[in-house]
Homo-oligomer: A and B are copies of this chain.
Amino acid sequence: MTIHHQPGRERIDAVRGFNRFYTRQIGLLDEGLLKSAFSLTEARVLYELAHRDGLTATDLACDLGLDPGYLSRLLKKFEERGLVERVATQADARRSSIALTPAGRAAFAPLNQGSHDQVAALLDRLSAPEQDRLVKAMQTVQRLLGESAEPRVPYMLRSLQVGDIGWIIHRQGLLYAQEYGWDETYEALVAEILGAFVKSYDPKWERSWIAEREGEVVGSVFLVRQSDAVAKLRLLYVEPSARGLGIGRRLVEECIGFARAKGYKKLTLWTNDVLTSARRIYEAAGFKLANQERHHAFGKDLVGQNWNLEL
């Protein structure tokens, strides 16, 4: 199912502007290669061969968008120069799998180094955090435009590191402001909760789980001790970009498992009724609505809810 959105002029223009910009950028980078004995296309072919095994001519033509005839001649020339070897695949005699010879690797090495150095020089003009942002932005573009049927790396859970709580405060603050119009007092509440969590952290009775995917925090939850018998689940959140992967449910399950293992009798949590997807997770996990009441907070009229789970 595809939803239609009418992309909007500005976005289209922005993307076209970027395409023009990057066309030029790639042109600049390719000029560097021009000095070598290989053309840009030859270099691209060598790169693919150097980094992937068992490629056939069709694979190459398809991946690089080349004309099969052109590629055929190109490979022939490489073979004559002793840079590649072709062996017919046993499964299909029409195809042959192409590999660089040691001589081919030797010819590719300076090319590769040149490209490497050029990019290194480009990056070197930026500060470390800028480099980081650049790489992240490029990965975002690539992920979004790449074969949308991505083999989406799943996520992993880890414990709290320095920088996490600030990040989580930042993201939750922005997210709830965007999605529900909450004001800065929500962000402040998150800051107070997490500041206190770390300050009075008791590893024996408390824990946090951070969901990370491709190096980015995409969700988190905290479990704090209220009394010997009662644990409280706090600040569950999942990034919009990572929703639908079961991360929310998993985080809640981890909490429940931990609470059971520690011998708590009850797990409780406080939420607001507008947070429907979170509520669905709590219901599915067996939480029961204990009570609710109207209140005014975060610049909105809300309905606060307490949910409990007997362990």
Footprint of B on A, CB under 8 Å? 2-5, 7-8, 10-12, 14-29, 31, 44, 47, 63-65, 115-116, 119-120, 122-142, 144-146, 148-149, 160-163, 165-174, 177, 183-185, 187-199, 239-241
Contact = CB atoms under 8 A, between A and B. Distances in A.
Contacts of A21: 142, 145-146
Contacts of A240: 127, 129
Contacts of A120: 7, 12
Contact of A241 (B129, B173, B193, B196): B129
Select the residue from A120, A148, A177, A195 with max chain B CB neighbours within 10 A.
A195
* This protein's copies in its complex: 2
Given A20-B44, A24-B65, A27-B65, A15 B188 contact: no
Nearest to A191: B195
Contacts of A47: 20
- Interface of A, secondary structure class, is helix
B188 A198 contact: yes
7 contacts: A2-B124, A7-B123, A24-B63, A125-B148, A128-B241, A191-B191, A191-B192
B22 A22 contact: yes
B26 A124 contact: no
Given A20-B47, A125-B148, A145-B122, A166 B139 contact: no
* Ranked 9 nearest A-B pairs via Cβ: A166-B170, A166-B169, A191-B195, A192-B195, A188-B198, A137-B140, A18-B138, A7-B123, A137-B137
B15 A135 contact: yes
B194 A188 contact: yes
Contact of A191 (B125, B139, B198): B198
B119 A15 contact: yes
Given A141-B138, A192-B192, A5 B128 contact: yes
Contact of A119 (B16, B135, B167, B170): B16
Contacts of A15: 119, 122-123, 134-135, 138
A134 B126 contact: no
A12 to B, nearest CB: 5
Contacts of A128: 5, 241
A106 to B, nearest CB: 20
Nearest to A174: B163
Contacts of A169: 165-166, 169-170, 191
A247 to B, nearest CB: 15
Nearest to A189: B195
B167 A163 contact: no
